[in-house]
Structure 1
Amino acid sequence: MDFDNEMTSYSPGDIVYVFYRNPHTQDVANIQEAAVVNNPENPNELAIFLYETYYPLTNEIAVYSSEEEAKAAYDYYFESM
């Protein structure tokens, strides 16, 4: 299955969906809703705001524009294990 996860054109205020690993149980991942915001450390860059923390929006983060797309990717990557 091919999930196109190239950085789409996101804007501050967009809602996206990401995989979030529980910091206490690394083998547990969930789909979480997050907001795209201006990075407070570099206002010219975008960040993901999730659980009161800013994460730079880079190609290293699996970001999905819909919950359905995130669920399909989650099922593919985690349910097939």
Structure 2
Amino acid sequence: MNNFRVGEEVYVIYRNPHAVNVANIEKAEVVEHPHNNQELALFLHDAYHPLTEDDAVFSSFEDAEELYNQLFDYETYD
């Protein structure tokens, strides 16, 4: 959490709130929380989202993609 700075572009594994089994890697920006300048938020899809320790936030697309593939790669095994 403390590794991110205001203005930094990050990549987030974002679950679609309308379809729980759908997730994507989305680009977001780390910003000051609009109601509390002591906290950070993610600006994603034209909205502010509080940045919490539970968020899957990465500095690079490749790091996000690696975890995404581990979590959501539904290969069929024979």
TM-score normalised by L of structure 2: 0.87
**Equivalent of 2:40, from 37, 43, 46?**
46
How far 1:52 moved relative to its partner? 1.2
Q: Which runs of 5+ in 1 are unaligned?
A: 1-6
Number of residue-to-residue matches in the alignment: 75
**Equivalent of 2:31, from 32, 37, 42?**
37
Structure 1 outlier segments of 4+, above 6 Å: none
How far 1:55 moved relative to its partner? 1.0
Q: Which runs of 5+ in 2 are unaligned?
A: none
**Equivalent of 2:49, from 44, 52, 55?**
55
Partners of 1:79 and 1:8 in 2: CA distance: 30
Which structure has the greater CA radius of gyration? 2
**Equivalent of 2:58, from 64, 67, 70?**
64
1:26-72 deviation digits (Å, cap 9, x = unpaired):
21100000000000010111100100111111101111110000000
1:26 counterpart residue number = 20
3-state SS of 1:9 partner? coil
